[in-house]
Amino acid sequence: MDTFEDLLQTVQGSVERFVRFRISSKADADDILQETYLTAYQKFSELNNRAAFKAWILRIAKNKCNDYFRKKAAQYEIPIDTLQEQQLFGSRYGLSMMDSVRETLHLLGERDKQCLYLYFWKEMPQAEIAKVLNIPLGTVKSRLYTAKQNFKTQYPYQMEFLKGAKEMKTLPNYIPEYKIQAHTEPPFSVKWEELMGWFLVPKLGERISWGIYDIPSRKCSHICNMEVTGKATVHGIEGVELTAQEISCSDKTDVTHYTFIAQLTDTHCRYLAAFRNDAEVHHYITFLDGEEFSKNWGFGEDNCGNETNLAPKGDLYRDGSIITSVKKDFLLDIVGRYIVTIDGKSYDTVCVMDIGTYNAGIASEQFLDQHGKTILWRRFNRNDWAFDHYKKKWDELLPQNEKLIINGTTYVHWYDCITDYIL
């Protein structure tokens, strides 16, 4: 199996994931893939070690992506003082005092402006900036450090948005009583930037604490403390590293540690890599590892991630506890607007239902406020979920718990999650 066609078939999925994760435009990504395959085919006779085919063709794909960015370099030379405010507002730090930011940038030299623009607003890795400007990487690091210091010196306000994390609050031992009431108004659209299943927004300076509460006891079983620890890259794609510490409430010495890398784009929030310990071996899996990665961390078509711009799509319909769907794959949709009152405070929310997107037989309700933050998350198990393990159906295990009927099948409420955002 040494022919080009046979070898390409074994790695084509990885090549496509690599390119599509780097190039947001589908049309441009398709062009780069075609150029990659053509170049690889033309140079295949130069590859002496067929076992290295995957690394070899990924290197070609990476070079094609770099060529693409170099061709786009002209647009990076736009003077920063001509940018629209919306472009500046969309930066990773969420700057809001635009007039003062603009005035401060005017006070900086052109070299400082250029570095800040490429690094923060175009979110280019330092190595890529070095290629665009045709200067050594060390020079880029030095210039960027100087530019940030000059900006801090000139900026007329305290740079608290750069200092990062909020202090986490102590979660209660029992989840407070809550009430969910249907709203008379239609659901609103929302920007949801949290990582699916983890509630943390993958931006520098973010951290959160959240708890799992068993139902009907309402007692906390686990606390998870999470934070973004810094920037990270996976296969040349820039994201952030996140760590999580999950603590058992029944045994404080029972602590599980997680490390993974995620990326937030204008349209999706997605995982790039995850880390686990296999005895004394540190094992990393990434989005290029196919099924091994996607079954635990991948969401959406080609592992695109969960959508950040949510609006009702009509994929799911809800009438009380009855939910029906119009399709079977990747069911995630807003199903209504609700007032959630918890611990004496009321929140105007939309309910995002998720059916089987990361585990068959599991459904969830996620109530998001207008800031896209989770107020309450509730898990439901299909009645026969994990029957071989529990030896009973869930309406027998938890007969008092609330039930949903999804496409004619019973799902039973198992546990809830809340975060320190609501405290």
Q: What is the CATH number of the domain that holds 403?
A: 2.40.360
What CATH number did the domain enclosing 26 receive?
1.10.1740.10
Task: Please report whether residue 350 resides in a domain.
Answer: yes
Question: What residues contact 317, with CB distance under 8 A and at least 6 apart?
Answer: 323, 324, 325, 326, 335
Task: Tell me if 328 sits within 8 A of 360, measured CB to CB.
Answer: no
**Model pTM score:** 0.66
Same domain flag for 60 and 110: no
Task: Please report whether residue 321 resides in a domain.
Answer: yes
Task: Please report whether residue 96 resides in a domain.
Answer: yes
Neighbours of 390 (CB within 10 A): 13
Same domain flag for 386 and 366: yes
Task: Please report whether residue 172 resides in a domain.
Answer: no
The string over 40-70, giving b where at least 16 C-beta atoms fall within 10 Å of a residue's C-beta and e elsewhere, is: beeebeebeeeeebeebbbebbbebbbebbe
Domain that holds residue 111: 74-162
Same domain flag for 59 and 80: no
265-286: pLDDT as tens digits: 888 899 999 886 555 667 788 8
What CATH number did the domain enclosing 97 receive?
1.10.10.10
Q: What is the pLDDT of residue 170?
A: 85
Task: Tell me if 131 sits within 8 A of 139, measured CB to CB.
Answer: no
Helices 53-71 and 26-43, axial angle in degrees (round to 10): 130
Task: Tell me if 331 sits within 8 A of 357, measured CB to CB.
Answer: yes
285-325: pLDDT as tens digits: 888 877 778 777 877 776 778 889 999 999 899 999 999 98
Same domain flag for 263 and 283: yes
Q: Is 328 helix (H, G, I), strand (E, B) or coil?
A: coil
Q: Element (H or E) spanning 18, and its range?
A: helix 4-22
The two tokens of residue 415 are 């546990």
Show which of 71, 90, 111 is a domain's final residue.
Answer: 71
Same domain flag for 129 and 253: no
Cα dist. 398→215, 218, 403 in Å?
Answer: 8, 13, 10
Preceding amide of 216 cis, omega within 30: yes
- What is the number of domains present in the chain? 3
What residue has token string 């909020």? 166
Show which of 102, 128, 162 is a domain's final residue.
Answer: 162
Enumerate helices (H) and strands (E) in the chain, giving the number of each: 13, 18
Same domain flag for 219 and 85: no
Question: Kindly report the CA angle at 357 between 234 and 29, in degrees rounded to 5?
Answer: 40
Q: Is 352 helix (H, G, I), strand (E, B) or coil?
A: strand
Rounded Cα distance between 137 and 31, Å, is 29
The two tokens of residue 146 are 């100087």
Same domain flag for 151 and 277: no
- Identify the bridge partners of residue 350 per DSSP, sorted by sequence position: 337, 368
Question: What residues contact 161, with CB distance under 8 A and at least 6 apart?
Answer: 93, 94, 95, 205
Same domain flag for 157 and 183: no
Rounded Cα distance between 176 and 172, Å, is 8
Task: Please report whether residue 171 resides in a domain.
Answer: no
Task: Please report whether residue 168 resides in a domain.
Answer: no
Task: Please report whether residue 173 resides in a domain.
Answer: no
Q: What is the pLDDT of residue 342?
A: 95
In the chain, which residues have pLDDT < 70?
Answer: 1, 24, 70-107, 120-123, 154-169, 276-281, 302, 327-330, 358
Q: What is the pLDDT of residue 162?
A: 36
Same domain flag for 270 and 414: yes
Give backbone dihedrals phi and psi of 239, rounded to 5 degrees, phi first. Answer: -145, -155
Show which of 71, 96, 111 is a domain's final residue.
Answer: 71
Same domain flag for 37 and 116: no
Task: Tell me if 59 sits within 8 A of 43, measured CB to CB.
Answer: no
Same domain flag for 86 and 58: no
Q: What is the pLDDT of residue 102?
A: 53
Same domain flag for 266 and 407: yes
